[in-house]
A and B are shown apart, each in its own frame.
Chain A
Amino acid sequence: MDLTRLDISRRTALLTSAAIAANVVNPLRAFAQETPRKGGVFNVHYGAEQRQLNPSIQASTGVYIIGGKIQENLVDLDANGQPVGVLAESWEASPDGKTVTFKLRKGISWHDGKPFTSDDVAFTAMQMWKKILNYGSTLQLFLTSVDTPDPQTAIFRYERPMPLNLLLRALPDLGYVSAKHLYENGDIRQNPTNLAPVGTGPFKFVKYERGQYIIADRNPDYWRPNAPYLDRIVWRVITDRAAAAAQMEAGELHYSPFSGLTISDMARLSKDKRFTVSTRGNEGNARTNTLEFNFRRKELSDIRVRQAIAHAINVPFFIDNFLGEFARIGTGPIPSTSTDFYPGPNTPQYTYDKTKAAALLDEAGFKPGAGGTRFSLRLLPAPWGEDISLWSTFIQQSLSEVGIPVEIVRNDGGGFLKQVYDEHAFDLATGWHQYRNDPAVSTTVWYRSGQPKGAPWTNQWGWDDARVDKTIDDAATEIDPVKRKALYAEFDKAVTTELPVWMPIEQIFVTVITAKARNHSNTPRWGSTSWHDLWLSA
């Protein structure tokens, strides 16, 4: 079943019900004229509690899903994935790319009544984004200062050119602003405000009961006119996926974001008229399934062996039978949802061909020995997501057919990161590469050499390639968007040829939401946005 069709049929169902309710002839017009309804409580599934809620110091969907309603970013993405101002009204880069000036919106105040000014932006950028925020510290590595000539102007000064399109695509995730007056004294990490956030957003923090729920109420002084519509948002902590699906059905939850339910429950609820199940609104959170090779194993350092392994695995079969409608074939590290950088599918691809795999292995000198075994490998799957677990078993079975027995070693999150990225105690590893709208933010660290040992989700394969390193470095400071895109296409081609990491499956998170919700999933990172226009029909 294809998801776009699924979504359309759901929408058609909505249109029909709206038409019946309004008793008019043209259903399309009836839908368009539906007037937003104020009020209501929106109940959200919250699967994994984080240690804190401030998105200025932690970039993860588990924080955005709450903190993103309370605090706001300088820039967000619009329906077409283009940057649109939130706290910033406009921006401009100097011709040399070393300064970026943001003009801030006037008349905005924090939930505690103090005015929002450029001082808050300067403080957050220098003290949080540059020093604490994951991904932010890499993005802002060459940020030297933020000048504030007046309360509405923040001038970011960089040591090296900062491509404006990189900054604007990174800031929706890495550009949440915190209030200086609440953080300037004491250790930022230990600040109690992190667990009772104060922001400028459409919802005000009310209460956090650990292990149970978080509540935020409508901000009556919100700067956008007539927003927000909802009275209250409640995030309910439910760790068991099956229980969350049951609560959706019992009507106690309205929304389960980021593939929070099991694959089978999502498929089941997609046939239920009370819910919309779709990947729409998550395009900004694309991820690819990886197969990471450890070059310290001499067999794997041979490119023919890596290619043979890729040829031995039937990816389309796996997707059709295990992931179904929620995944598609990936062509490389830059996913097809990335309209600005996707280089097209014309990179080297590895179609399923067992004979070719066997021939490549023979050619590399690894002929089958006793019992048909060429050599054996240890595979470490990451513990997040049932797709990874299925994928690792599939790899195991596929490789055993070409004479490579695989032992699967399972760990929990901390253990997986330690063993793969710090101790390098793996031959093969598999997990997710999460793409964050620009390869420089999330992707090039998987390939650039010289990553410090122990940094998770970076090149720890024992592989380096001077040509790829140079392309990565050039692209990171290239301020011409067209040239940048070309450089990333070159990069994508080089790494799909060399194959230090294979990324053959592309997935977008799946949203399960009540059919009563309106104005949902209308931007590429909707689950993380402020929901100022979300409303519930009666």
Chain B
Amino acid sequence: MRILSLAGRRLAASIPTLVLILIGVFLLLQFAPGDTVDAMMAQMGGGDAATARELRRFYGLDLSVPAQLGNYLWRLIRLDLGFSSIYGKPVATVILERLPPTILLMTASLSFAFFFGLVFGVIAARQFNKWPDTLISTLGLIFYATPSFWFGLMAIVVFSIYLQWLPAGGFEDIGAVQSGVFRILDIARHLILPTLTLGLIFLAIYLRIMRASMLEVLNLDFVRTARAKGLDETRVVTRHVLRNAMLPMVTLIGLQAGTMLGGSVVVESVFSLPGLGRLAYESVIQRDLNTLLGIVFVSALLVIVVNFIVDLLYARLDPRISMEG
């Protein structure tokens, strides 16, 4: 119950932020030259003025900017995200269709980065300044410095073209209609390369943070106490150090859940995945205001939820931090 009321309060506090973000994006898009009809003309390769006028009326663009904004906010109050001009469907439907691949990709690569970042960070810290540390740190730096589109393309060249182990793109196999476990396995196979590509860059960050945080905690007094009372090294690390060193990692997850939604545009394009990042990109290019605002809305909600969960985790990891604080 306490959690629920806390969640309620958090959400209420987020509403003004959300409204400000939406108005900001709406106005920013008004500054971009051209509207969705210009974008459509660009795509069609031509059209006459009468057609353009007709289309503007069709999409409700003949109204003034404040009237359009007012309409939008009024619809939002009634939980109606509006109609997408490029997809010809309600925005909510469009986003729901795109949400599963994004969430799958995001959780998979975050978990990958978190888990391996943790493991390698611990190893590097324990072998401080020995060869495993140097190797891990160098690799981390290389992963961090490499652009993700290049990583993705190289992964395709190696694993799809030369070795032919994994598919080069797409979310699932279109040729065969699959169901149940086979479909899950098929989707998983398609997600291996994108997950690695997106995850490796984040892995580098987690690894560095974990290493630094481990080194710091290892030097604290209570660790010396633990060692002095005769605990073996593994127990010291797992029961005493790890838990305390995890806090910065959890903070980072909260921060990155938001960036990962936007940051996946590149990976989604390279691997032809139908995710939210690409949808947002297309909406900007096509000036599809409703869809873009819808995505901003959903992303903002997602970030709020993730941060809430992070706060809960804090309290669990470190009882000194109270949820009420």
| A interface residues with partner B (beta carbon < 8 Å) | 41, 48-52, 58-62, 132, 134-135, 137-138, 189-190, 194-195, 209-213, 215, 234, 236-240, 242-243, 246-247, 249-250, 252, 384, 411-419, 422-423, 434, 442, 451-457
Contact = CB atoms under 8 A, between A and B. Distances in A.
Nearest to A441: B46
Contact of B269 (A58, A239, A252): A239
A414 B42 contact: yes
Nearest to A415: B33
B256 interface: no
A452 B49 contact: yes
B174 A415 contact: no
Contacts of A195: 88
* Closest 5 pairs (CB-CB, A-B): A414-B34, A413-B42, A211-B274, A452-B49, A414-B39
A252 B274 contact: no
Nearest to A249: B161
Given A41-B175, A51-B40, A413-B285, A252 B169 contact: yes
30 contacts: A48-B43, A51-B86, A60-B45, A211-B274, A211-B275, A212-B174, A236-B169, A236-B170, A236-B174, A242-B153, A243-B169, A243-B271, A247-B168, A247-B169, A250-B156, A250-B161, A250-B167, A252-B169, A411-B33, A412-B285, A413-B38, A413-B42, A415-B34, A415-B38, A416-B42, A418-B33, A454-B49, A455-B47, A456-B41, A457-B45
Given A58-B44, A211-B98, A455-B48, 8 more contacts: A134-B45, A211-B275, A246-B153, A246-B157, A250-B161, A415-B34, A419-B33, A457-B45
Interface string B300-316: 00000000000000000
Nearest to B58: A189
Nearest to A211: B274
B286 A59 contact: no
Nearest to B171: A212
B136 interface: no
Contacts of A418: 33-35, 38
Nearest to B49: A452
Contacts of A194: 88
Interface in B72-111: 85-88, 94, 97-98
Interface string B191-215: 0000000000000000000000000
Nearest to B50: A137
A234 B174 contact: yes
Contact of B45 (A49, A59, A415, A416): A59
Interface residues of B, number: 56
Nearest to B97: A210
B32 interface: yes
A456 B270 contact: no
A414 B289 CA distance: 13
Contact of B52 (A62, A215, A236, A455): A455
A212 B47 contact: no
A417 B38 contact: yes
A49 B86 CA distance: 9
B48 A414 contact: no
Interface string B40-75: 111111111111100000100000000000000000
Contacts of B274: 209-212, 237
A394 to B, nearest CB: 23
Contact of A252 (B39, B43, B167, B284): B167
Contacts of B284: 412
A272 to B, nearest CB: 11
A238 B169 contact: yes
B229 to A, nearest CB: 57
Contact of A243 (B49, B86, B88, B168): B168
Contacts of A434: 45-46
Contacts of A239: 269, 272, 278
Contacts of B39: 412-414
B246 to A, nearest CB: 37
Contacts of B98: 211
A434 B287 CA distance: 24
Nearest to B33: A415
B32 A415 contact: yes
Contacts of B299: none
A277 to B, nearest CB: 18
A34 B33 CA distance: 55
Given A246-B160, A415-B34, A240 B270 contact: yes
B43 A413 contact: yes
Contacts of B285: 412-414
A124 B58 CA distance: 20
A51 B85 contact: yes
A252 B168 contact: yes
Contacts of B275: 211
Given A134-B51, A189-B58, A211-B278, A417 B160 contact: no
Contacts of A242: 149, 153, 270
Nearest to A453: B49
A416 B270 CA distance: 26
Interface in B251-284: 269-272, 274-275, 278-279, 282, 284
Contacts of A454: 49, 52
Nearest to A418: B34
A52 to B, nearest CB: 7
A252 B287 CA distance: 32
A254 to B, nearest CB: 13
Given A246-B157, A442-B46, A240 B272 contact: yes
Nearest to B172: A212
A234 B32 CA distance: 35
A414 B279 contact: no
A41 B164 CA distance: 20
A257 B40 CA distance: 21
B51 A132 contact: yes
Nearest to B155: A246
Contacts of A249: 161
Nearest to B35: A414
A212 B274 CA distance: 6
- Most chain-B Cβ atoms within 10 A of its Cβ — which of A49, A239, A419? A239
Contacts of A59: 44-46
Contacts of B278: 211, 239
B36 interface: yes
A399 B69 CA distance: 44
A246 to B, nearest CB: 4
A247 B85 CA distance: 30
A243 B44 contact: no
B42 A417 contact: yes
Interface in B142-179: 149, 152-153, 156-157, 160-161, 164, 167-171, 174-175
